[in-house]
Structure 1
Amino acid sequence: MAEGEPPRRRRMTRTAREQQLLDVAEELFLGAGYERTSIEDIARAAGITRPVVYEHYGSKEGIYLACVRRARVPLNEALHAAFESSDDPVEQFTRGLDAYYALLERDANRWRLLFSPNGVLTGPLADDLLRERFRTANLIADLVETHLPHVDPQRIDAFAHAISGGVEQLGRWWLAHPEVERAQVVEYQVAFFIPAFEAMRSARP
């Protein structure tokens, strides 16, 4: 570089750019909502042009889905860790719930990105978001099934979806009652679902 020449700005790696775009898009989606956020808004906030956003994520739907998938990774990892930390199903369930509600407590905005109702969304994006929710429910089903080898898989699948939906709804209740301690919320959820689990486990094949 010649003397007196201003330093050249280093170009971001593709991975760094993708993470920057997700950070920017997530903030905009949470602040303004999906419908009121445009690709132009994301590009402007990131200091780039629209074609760069399209190059990385293809569309607004694509970057929104990528935000949701990224936010879901620590949740699924926490569920795996909770189930691997013990062989006792009550302990597994309790630790998994605590990890889930810790995510909400630590970052309520990111939790809203994952679990806020998105009925206003239609078409392929809504289908993709539903599949992401089902993926977590399927993970729960796989983990529960290890303790219930004699139970009809369809029943286990329905139970896992009931857990997933109930946990989401209790999370919304907790956001409206922040004075309640996390441990109490976990205790409530355990009391709601463990009896159903024990009933299935004790049922004869």
Structure 2
Amino acid sequence: MTARPAPTAPPRKRRSRAERERQILAVAEQVFADEGYQAASMDDIAHRVGLSKPMLYEYFGSKDGLLMACLHRAKQELFDTTTTAAAGANGPEGLLHDCLLAFFRFSDDHAQAWALLRNEAAVPVSSVSSELESIRLQQIGFTAELLRGARPDLDEVRLEAYAESIIGACERLALWRERRPEVTARQATEHLMSLLLPSLGTGA
């Protein structure tokens, strides 16, 4: 009786460049968030991904370039989250509520991304600091547009002031929740709504 040939393993599917980049960014985001920018090692990231270190540099150029790519992804995810919430909201109060809730849920559901966004003091690279500020300005601009639709009576200076204040309050509350993990995203939203609504009402 002729022996059957031993079964061979199916060929490993080769990842596309886009898939590989997403994998690298997911791993790098976690490493940067867990260990901090200074302590994070490109050797460690390459090992976790299953690439050589030179190949990792081929994708992103440098450690700074890899961090910038992580920040770009976090920026887009945050923007997508809040714009989706805005699209499904009803009325000015519902709009504010749903966007605030989306922000706090983002900080819960994307803990590594949020850790990168909030930890700018630990990254002594001017280009990275500029990117972090651009993320903040993106959210401020988005918030100002929402306020413009809800409160057309407000002048530009007050719109900017309100938008800056709302984003600053969101960031501080998100940090506060790290010390108060029992506070849910919905509870944080209600706290901030209670503070903001008297000032944002049509009679302000």
TM-score normalized by structure 2? Answer: 0.85
Partner in structure 2 of residue 48 of structure 1 = 51
Task: Measure, in 1, the Cα distance between the counterparts of 2:131 and 2:164.
Answer: 17
Task: Measure, in 2, the Cα distance between the counterparts of 1:25 and 1:181.
Answer: 27
Give unpaired runs (5+ residues) of structure 2. Answer: none
Task: Measure, in 1, the Cα distance between the counterparts of 2:131 and 2:116.
Answer: 14
The answer as to whether partners of 2:21 and 2:59 remain within 8 angstroms in 1 is yes
Partner in structure 1 of residue 133 of structure 2 = 130
In structure 2, the CA distance between the partners of 1:12 and 1:182, relative to structure 1 (3 Å rule), is closer
Equivalences, count: 199
Counterparts of 1:179-190 in structure 2, within 5 Å, are 179-190=182-193
Partner in structure 1 of residue 62 of structure 2 = 59
Task: Measure, in 1, the Cα distance between the counterparts of 2:122 and 2:40.
Answer: 17
Q: Which moved further from structure 2: 166-175 or 5-14?
A: 5-14
RMSD (Å) for aligned C-alpha atoms? 2.3
Task: Measure, in 1, the Cα distance between the counterparts of 2:97 and 2:42.
Answer: 41
Task: Measure, in 2, the Cα distance between the counterparts of 1:163 and 1:119.
Answer: 24
TM-score normalized by structure 1? Answer: 0.84
In structure 2, the CA distance between the partners of 1:111 and 1:12, relative to structure 1 (3 Å rule), is same
Counterparts of 1:14-33 in structure 2, within 5 Å, are 14-33=17-36
1:151 Cα deviation from its structure 2 partner: 2.4
| Alpha-carbon displacement from aligned partner over 1:35-91 (angstroms, at most 9, x marks no partner) | 111333322222212332222222212211221222233332232122222341111
Asked if 1:162 corresponds to 2:165, the answer is: yes
1:13 Cα deviation from its structure 2 partner: 0.6
Task: Measure, in 2, the Cα distance between the counterparts of 1:81 and 1:152.
Answer: 26
Give the 3-state SS of the residue equivalent to 2:89 in structure 1: coil
| Alpha-carbon displacement from aligned partner over 1:101-158 (angstroms, at most 9, x marks no partner) | 2222334333222223435423222112211221121111122111233422232122
The answer as to whether partners of 1:75 and 1:103 remain within 8 angstroms in 2 is yes
Give unpaired runs (5+ residues) of structure 1. Answer: none
User: Which amino acid counterpart does residue 71 of structure 1 have in structure 2?
Assistant: A
Partner in structure 2 of residue 38 of structure 1 = 41
Task: Measure, in 2, the Cα distance between the counterparts of 1:145 and 1:119.
Answer: 35
Aligned-pair identity in percent equals 31
Counterparts of 1:2-13 in structure 2, within 5 Å, are 9-13=12-16
Task: Measure, in 2, the Cα distance between the counterparts of 1:89 and 1:29.
Answer: 37
Task: Measure, in 2, the Cα distance between the counterparts of 1:55 and 1:155.
Answer: 47
Partner in structure 1 of residue 84 of structure 2 = 81
Task: Measure, in 1, the Cα distance between the counterparts of 2:64 and 2:134.
Answer: 14
The answer as to whether partners of 1:65 and 1:129 remain within 8 angstroms in 2 is no
Task: Measure, in 2, the Cα distance between the counterparts of 1:40 and 1:147.
Answer: 50
